[in-house]
């Protein structure tokens, strides 16, 4: 499932450059995650790197509106990065 940045975000700029899928960008008020590009770092890291670098606990959470299995996240990674 894709992740979601909550309104606890302080726009510290830590998450955007760490995202290997370029899924994070500045929204109108806070950073946002593009669910079509977010793989929760499947294919890159053991856990979502944006959560690891965020200085505010529970700011980047699972987006219940976009649930995906690990297999679906892997398939998305393959499409995004043309991996075989």
Check: CB of residue 37 under 8 Å from CB of residue 22: yes
Q: What was the pLDDT predicted at 38?
A: 95
Which 3 state secondary structure label does DSSP give 72? helix
* Domain limits for position 61: 3-82
Q: What was the pLDDT predicted at 66?
A: 87
Q: At 55, which CATH number?
A: 3.30.70.20
Tens of pLDDT, residues 26-74: 999 999 999 999 999 999 999 999 999 999 999 999 999 989 999 999 9
Check: CB of residue 6 under 8 Å from CB of residue 54: no
Q: Which two tokens stand for residue 50?
A: 């944006």
Residue 83 has pLDDT above 70, yes or no: no
What is the pTM assigned to this prediction?
0.89
Counting the structural domains of the chain, the total is 1
Which residues, at least 6 apart from 50, have a Cβ–Cβ distance to it below 8 Å? 3, 5, 15, 18, 19, 24, 33, 41, 60
Check: CB of residue 47 under 8 Å from CB of residue 41: yes
């Amino acid at each position: 499932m894709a992740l979601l940045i909550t309104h606890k975000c302080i726009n510290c700029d830590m998450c955007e450059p760490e995202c290997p899928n370029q899924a994070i960008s500045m929204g109108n008020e806070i950073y946002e995650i593009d669910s079509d590009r977010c793989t929760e770092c499947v294919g890159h890291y053991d856990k979502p790197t944006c959560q690891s670098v965020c200085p505010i606990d529970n700011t980047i959470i699972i987006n219940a509106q976009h649930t995906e299995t690990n297999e679906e996240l892997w398939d998305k990674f393959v499409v995004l990065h043309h991996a075989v």
